[in-house]
Chain A
Amino acid sequence: MRAIVWIAEGTWEACVDRTRELLPGDAELTLLHVAPTDVEDVATRGAARLLGRRPPPPPGPPLRAIAAEEAQALLESAQSRLGRAAQLDSRRGRVEREVVEACAGADVLVVARDGELRAGPKSLGPHARFVVDHAPCQVLLVWAGEPAAGPPPPDHRHGSPHPD
């Protein structure tokens, strides 16, 4: 079995813990992190907004290097929490699309709900929603934290499927 575990800031520990508990010990694991390029772009090329200015690049390492270093550190933390062998895959780009692409050839994707900690459609943020909708493999969807009791599911006779 080939499994991809999506490591994202704020939710990665739950994914690692459920992977350890629920996936077979001989599963071939890949820990995946995707750095969003739009944020780097806003941070580095903001000077394009300033007509007529060409400030020197800010001192210190380029943001791309900082992003890569932090992604590697996060993946290594995840691996040590997992406590078993795994491949580390660090990517950049549009997060949700990169995750779906990384799933090609995998049997299962472990992904955390990244929205509200309450049952209901808002428990998935836009990125996790996209990934769940488009993943070409099985999806293990985990809670990152203890969910509060959500509202009862809508009545199938009267309510709309997504009341809020």
Chain B
Amino acid sequence: MHDGGGARRSEAAMNEAVSLVALAAILIAAVARARWAPDWVVAVLGAIVVLAVGAISFSGARSALRELGPTVGFLAALLVLADGCRRAGMFDALGAWMAHGARQRPRRLLAMVFIAAAATTAVLSLDATIVLLTPIVFATAARLPANPRPHVYACSHLANSASLLLPVSNLTNLLAFHASGLSFARFGGLMTLPWLVAIAIEWLIFTRSFSSDLRRSATGRAQTPAVELPVFALCVLAATLGGFVLSSAIGIAPVWVAAAGALVLQVRARPPVKELILATEPTLLVFVLGLGIVVAAAGQHGLSSAVTSVLPSGQELPALLGIAAVSAVAANLVNNLPATLIILPVVAASGPGAVLAMLVGVNVGPNLTYVGSLATLLWRRIVHAHEEETDIGEFTRLGVRTVPLILVASTVGLWLALQVV
């Protein structure tokens, strides 16, 4: 009897250790981005190892995949949709629209950047804002000519803080959307106030912090290239958005709406098949699935109970504030995707309000550091120590000014919305 119990305990300890080591290895690979150890390969190996040692059963892994599968499919459709918008020239048109609307005034340009970045993030996800919109904003500000710092920093901040609105605005939202059981429209309805509050605070802090950069008009070379409005892509996007909102009423899962929108845009653009497959970022999809299995294994062996011990439960305001704060800290330590996978199963038990409070934390929190997490920051400091010196002081100061304020105000906004909506 005694021996059997001891063996079980040592097996449990071994399973716990293996899952945590596998999780750590995946995170290190994702942050380090070494050519010889791609993160998606490490994620697959990690999943195989936790299965092989029995840290997760085959049925456990299958149910983790069943949970994540639809989310990953949804993500693939959204990535193709954003790629279709890029092919249709939507981001060049946004650049021309911002330059035209700025009328040589940096402050007006900042307002245009806020509108463009908040809308792009909400509808096409933070990935589109970071990868496709930010370079356009840089070029637009530099050509004004204005100091591009306020505009580029704003774009980078809003990619996170304006990703609260819709399930499609952030991969973390997609994961939480599936677990929360909310309809698309109700998710958006509850998050509208927190989203607006976050954008308003960003605007106030940015215009105050960069007041002198923004005050002076640019003079000289007014050059706003005329760009044709991508009417077709805009119509498809609007129809897709409408489809999302109506999806639960008409009984179609939003993933099919996204797939239809992506298909219509790409059929018109007719890109080479290889490019289309690359647009879905297959390695990201594999990475998310592998990471999901390893997190599920770690969750069964102590990680979930550790998270439960530090996370408040319930949906009252103090609990929501606590959940947002803990989630923000976790996102800053290990990046927000693993943080979401780790925290989500625990908060889902407290109800949709708690899930949304977690999203406020994991989405807004990464603005505290320049690259989204302390792990990434430390790694970059080691690897890029000999490259051009980069001053991250101002970015960090902006993070310190905005993040705590937005965490509190947006969570209060969420609590109010939960009472009303």
Q: Which residues of A pack against B, CB within 8 Å?
A: 8-11, 13, 36-56, 58-60, 63, 66-67, 70, 73-74, 77, 92-94, 114-117, 125, 144-145
Contacts and interface: CB of A to CB of B under 8 A. Distances in A.
Interface stretch (B45-53, B134-142, B305-313): B134-142
Interface residues of B, number: 66
Nearest to A95: B391
A18 B145 CA distance: 21
B138 A66 contact: yes
A49 B376 contact: yes
Contacts of A46: 130-131, 134, 156, 159
Contact of A43 (B137, B215, B278, B291): B137
B127 A50 contact: yes
B376 A52 contact: no
Interface stretch (B189-197, B200-208, B216-224, B351-359): B216-224
A55 B131 contact: yes
Interface stretch (B14-22, B239-247, B364-372): B364-372
Nearest to A45: B371
The CB with the most chain A CB atoms within 10 A, among B127, B148, B394, is that of B148
B373 to A, nearest CB: 8
B219 A43 contact: no
A9 B135 contact: no
Contacts of A9: 144-147, 218
A44 B152 CA distance: 10
Given A53-B284, A77-B220, A39 B212 contact: no
Given A60-B139, A94-B391, A42 B216 contact: no
Contacts of A44: 135
B145 A52 contact: no
B256 interface: no
A93 B155 CA distance: 21
A43 B287 contact: no
A53 B127 contact: yes
Given A10-B146, A55-B127, A42 B389 contact: no
Contacts of B287: 51-52
A49 B379 CA distance: 12
Contacts of B183: none
Nearest to B278: A56
15 contacts: A10-B106, A10-B218, A38-B149, A38-B391, A39-B153, A42-B395, A46-B156, A49-B376, A51-B336, A52-B283, A52-B337, A58-B132, A70-B145, A116-B211, A116-B212
B170 to A, nearest CB: 10
B380 interface: yes
A30 B43 CA distance: 55
B395 A38 contact: yes
A42 B391 contact: no
5 smallest beta-carbon distances between A and B, as pairs: A49-B372, A10-B216, A52-B287, A46-B130, A43-B138
B156 A42 contact: yes
Contact of B149 (A39, A48, A52): A39
Given A11-B216, A42-B134, A46-B159, A73 B221 contact: yes
A73 B218 CA distance: 14
Contacts of B283: 52, 54
B3 interface: no
B213 interface: yes
B388 A52 contact: no
B338 interface: yes
A28 B201 CA distance: 48
Contact of A67 (B142, B213, B221): B142
A54 B127 CA distance: 11
B392 A63 contact: no
Contact of A36 (B149, B366, B380): B149
Given A52-B283, A93-B389, A145 B216 contact: yes
B138 A40 contact: yes
Contacts of B410: none
B138 A39 contact: yes
Contacts of B142: 66-67, 70
A43 B288 CA distance: 25
A93 B387 CA distance: 11
A50 B130 contact: yes
A94 B5 CA distance: 62
A38 B147 contact: no
Contacts of A70: 142-143, 145
Nearest to B372: A49
The CB with the most chain B CB atoms within 10 A, among A49, A70, A115, is that of A49
Nearest to B127: A50
B419 interface: no
A14 to B, nearest CB: 10
B281 interface: yes
A116 B159 CA distance: 30
A147 to B, nearest CB: 13
Nearest to B160: A49
